[in-house]
Amino acid sequence: MESLINGVPLLCWPFVSEQVHNCNYICNVWKVGLGFNRDEGGLIARQEIQNKLEELLGNEKYRANASDIKEKLRNSIKQGGCSSSNFISFVEWLKE
């Protein structure tokens, strides 16, 4: 999220747990990044990394999509935004 709140596209290399889920959202839902494909041995080749990096840096759609997400995230944390409101509601619930 730190990258996206600044409008920076991502290269994903998930290892465990929620990283796989996050990679799916980043690459397939939000379309703000790319994941790597492993070879037959389960490794990620140097050429794969170079190709994905070149695609990410050379294709403006990733930066444009990341910029759109950036605005949505920033609006959500402003006072009255959905994240701000949900956090305040959560704190009030804890006080009960």
Q: Is 35 within 8 Å of 14 (Cβ atoms)?
A: yes
**What residue ranges of the chain have pLDDT lower than 50?**
none
Domain span at residue 47 reads 4-95
pLDDT for the residue 23: 96
Give the pLDDT of residue 28.
97
Structure tokens at 60: 């403006």
pLDDT at 2: 87
pLDDT of residue 6: 95
Task: Tell the residue number behind the tokens 């465990």, with chain if given.
Answer: 16
Whose tokens are 């889920």? That residue is 21
Q: Indicate the number of domains in the chain.
A: 1
Say which CATH number the domain at 62 has: 3.40.50.2000
pTM of the model: 0.78
Instruction: Provide the b/e sequence for 44-73 (b: ≥16 CB within 10 Å).
Output: eeeeeeeebeeebeeeeebeebbbebbeeb
